[in-house]
Structure 1
Amino acid sequence: MQLTPNYLPNGICLNVLANSVTNAEACYAAAEGHVVLGVLTKNYLSDESAITDMRRYQAAVNNAVSVGLGAGSPQQSAMVARVAAEIQPQHVNQVFTGVATSRALLGQADTVINGLVAPSGEVGLVNVATGPLSSQSAKANIPVATAITMLKDMGGTSLKYFPMQGTAHLEEFKAVAAACADNEFGLEPTGGLDLTNFQQIVQIAVAAGVRQIIPHVYSSIIDATTGETQPEAVAQLLTIMKQF
């Protein structure tokens, strides 16, 4: 079972949501396998139901599953860690304070685990207070490079920058990308990415020299009627990804 995402030769792999196994299969095909399919723990009432269902996804898409929180919800951190430990996916979404628990429970170093940090409003700093309790307290804005080394200490492999609000934090994002490149760390821009700004945002990370980039494109490409991610939009994003 492959435990690492299927990156393109340029180091880019897409992350989109799937609301069914059929939808996951369609998006996986549209991305030619260069994708991890997000399945949100927030949508399940128990660990057991999540594990059972996510194993169906794993079988359908060669384990290209991303165990999700659900809009970065810190309350899902513990459930994500427990479920990921059981299914051993290619990708795990975590709040900053949940990374070490996830890595320890996984028991291996191959699965990508991101650590969620939020824009601080100041270039060069990120807010790491994204955990169940810390997110309810004052912001903890620290240098990006320090956040990265802390994530490395905890076994993290990439920095999830959320919520980006599309292009609202581009100057901050440029500093984040530079720090990830300098520290040989993965980067996952998240929040408000769509078909109109995707190229601009990914270009910043590529130009900075980030080696592994996993952009998340969620609600903007989901059909409002069916709740499914649109495979044709995934195909468009793949075309853009291949241009870098």
Structure 2
Amino acid sequence: MKLTPHFYRDRVCLNVLAGSKDNASAIYQAAEGHVLVGVLSKNYPDVATAVADMRDYAARIDNALSVGLGAGDPNQSAMVSAISREVQPQHVNQVFTGVATSRALLGQRETVVNGLVSPTGTPGQVKISTGPLSSKAAAGIVPIDTAIALLKDMGGSSIKYFPMGGLACRDEYQAVAEACARYDFWLEPTGGIDLDNYNDILQIALDAGVSKIIPHIYSSIIDKASGNTRPQDVRQLLAMTKALVQ
């Protein structure tokens, strides 16, 4: 079972949502394997049901499975960890406080486990209070350098920076990217990314020197009628990636 994602030129791997198993296969082909296919834990009534279904997804896409929370829902944190222990996917989405649990239950270091941190309005500062209880308390804001050190302590692989609102917090995002490069930590920009701003968002991370980037492109490329991600849009994203990553 392949536990590591397939990065284009060892630098960029897309992350998009699947609306169905056939859609997952089509996405994987459209991205030529340089993709993590998100399936949301929130869509299942219990862990056992999710595990059975996600194993089927994983079998179709060489295990390029990204176990998702569902709009960053902190209440899904424990379920994501429980699913990931059984499925052993290539990628796990977690709130900041769920990273250590996911890593411990996975029992290996290869699967990418991100930790969700949010913009604060101040470049260089991020909100780490994204867990089930902490998200309801007073905002826990720390320097991005501290957040990265804490995530490394917990066995995290990357920062999931969400919600970005596209380029609405450009200066903050650039500061996060520069810190990720400084500490050789991976970056997952998320929220409001579309075909119009994708180039700029990816270029900022590339220019900063981030070693590995996993951009999440969700609702903007999903067909509203079917709920499926449009494979032609994934092909376009891959083409844009290839043009930037030399």
Shorter-chain TM-score bucket reads: over 0.9
What residue is the counterpart of 2:96 in the other structure? Answer: 96
Q: Distance in 2 between the 1:63 and 1:107 partners?
A: 17
For structure 2, list consecutive stretches of 5 or more residues without a partner in the other structure. none
2:17 aligned with 1:17, yes or no?
yes
Q: Distance in 1 between the 2:168 and 2:216 partners?
A: 16
Report Cα offsets for 1:103-148 as digits up to 9, x if no partner.
0000000000000000011010000000000000111111101100
Q: Distance in 2 between the 1:226 and 1:37 partners?
A: 17
The aligned amino acid for 2:79 is M
Which secondary structure does the structure 2 equivalent of 1:172 belong to?
helix
What residue is the counterpart of 2:240 in the other structure? Answer: 240
Shift of 1:19: 1.4
Q: Distance in 1 between the 2:88 and 2:168 partners?
A: 35
Q: Distance in 1 between the 2:242 and 2:132 partners?
A: 37
What residue is the counterpart of 1:211 in the other structure? Answer: 211
CA-based RMSD of the aligned residues comes to 0.5
Q: Distance in 2 between the 1:28 and 1:80 partners?
A: 22
The aligned amino acid for 1:46 is D
Report Cα offsets for 1:142-170 as digits up to 9, x if no partner.
11011001000000000000000111000
Q: Distance in 2 between the 1:34 and 1:49 partners?
A: 27
Structure 2 length as normaliser, TM-score? 0.99
Percent identity between matched residues is 60
2:64 aligned with 1:79, yes or no?
no
Structure 1 residues 45-56: aligned runs within 5 Å: 45-56=45-56
What residue is the counterpart of 1:139 in the other structure? Answer: 139
Q: Distance in 1 between the 2:177 and 2:130 partners?
A: 20
- The alignment covers a number of residue pairs equal to 244
Q: Would you identify which runs of 4 or more consecutive aligned residues in structure 1 move more than 2 Å?
A: none
What residue is the counterpart of 1:7 in the other structure? Answer: 7
What residue is the counterpart of 2:118 in the other structure? Answer: 118
What residue is the counterpart of 2:65 in the other structure? Answer: 65
The aligned amino acid for 2:148 is I
Q: Distance in 2 between the 1:73 and 1:193 partners?
A: 19
Structure 1 length as normaliser, TM-score? 0.99
2:174 aligned with 1:174, yes or no?
yes
